[in-house]
């Protein structure tokens, strides 16, 4: 095995352990920074996806993660901070943490927004001590093709996910578990 591959594996393992065991308060950005980035990211998403803007009009809440960092080689991890907007106002802060294992290699940053369409599903997020994606509300990932067919009358699912600002390269297949947890960043 080449030295480059060994170094990449070591980085991935250390990064994964760091994300999983570091207290949330150390990793969290300050509230003002999260606010600015969440609002700017939503405006960019709306400019690039008019369907997302239409969906936002009916959403009970929108959870926006702007700079999620993901890296992996066999073992992977990701981390990012975000804000929950309700009626255009920030109502809470969250982080997303995930670990994965499988055929994967690379590193990337990306953002995503979750559009909660019902009060029940939004309450599930806000009242749980940690929400695992895949447990609880159904999530529909909206890609460019699906977005063109999505309207407020056809939107009948619980939560819609839009991904944006993908940079870097991450390739492969894997099993992934993401957990979203409420945080209290510095004001």
Residues in the chain predicted with pLDDT less than 70, given as ranges, are: 1, 3-29, 131-141, 143-157, 172-177, 187
Q: Is the Cβ–Cβ distance between 52 and 114 less than 8 Å?
A: no
Name the pTM for this structure.
0.76
Among the listed residues 45, 14, 27, the one whose alpha carbon sits nearest the alpha carbon of residue 186: 27
Which pLDDT score is estimated for 25? 44
Interatomic CA distance for residues 175 and 121, integer angstroms: 24
Cα gap 43→102, rounded to integer Å: 34
Count how many domains the chain has: 1
Greatest alpha-carbon span in the chain: 55
Q: How far apart are CA 80 and CA 19, in angstroms?
A: 10
Answer yes or no: are the C-beta atoms of 20 and 76 closer than 8 Å: no
pLDDT for res 84: 97
pLDDT tens digits, one per residue of 124-149: 888 887 766 654 455 666 764 443 33
129: containing domain: 3-183
Task: Note the pLDDT of residue 139.
Answer: 62
Q: Which helix (H) or strand (E) holds 71?
A: strand 61-86
Q: Report strand pairing: 139-142 vs 159-172.
A: parallel
């Amino acid at each position: 095995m080449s030295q480059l591959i060994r170094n990449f594996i070591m980085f991935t393992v250390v990064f994964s352990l760091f994300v999983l065991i570091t207290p949330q308060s150390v990793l969290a950005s300050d509230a003002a920074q999260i606010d600015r980035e969440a609002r700017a990211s939503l405006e960019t998403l709306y400019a690039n996806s008019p369907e997302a803007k239409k969906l936002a009009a009916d959403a009970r809440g929108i959870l926006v993660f702007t700079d999620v960092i993901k890296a992996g080689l066999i073992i992977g991890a990701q981390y990012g901070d975000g804000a929950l907007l309700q009626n255009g106002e920030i109502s809470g802060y969250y982080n997303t943490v995930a670990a994965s294992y499988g055929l994967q290699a690379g590193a990337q940053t990306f953002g995503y927004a979750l559009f909660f369409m019902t009060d029940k599903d939004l309450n599930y997020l806000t009242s749980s001590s940690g929400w695992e994606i895949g447990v609880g509300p159904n999530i529909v990932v909206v890609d460019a093709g699906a977005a063109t067919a999505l309207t407020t009358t056809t939107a009948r699912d619980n939560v819609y996910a839009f991904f944006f600002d993908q940079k870097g390269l991450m390739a492969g297949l894997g099993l992934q578990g993401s957990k979203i947890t409420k945080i209290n960043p510095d004001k």
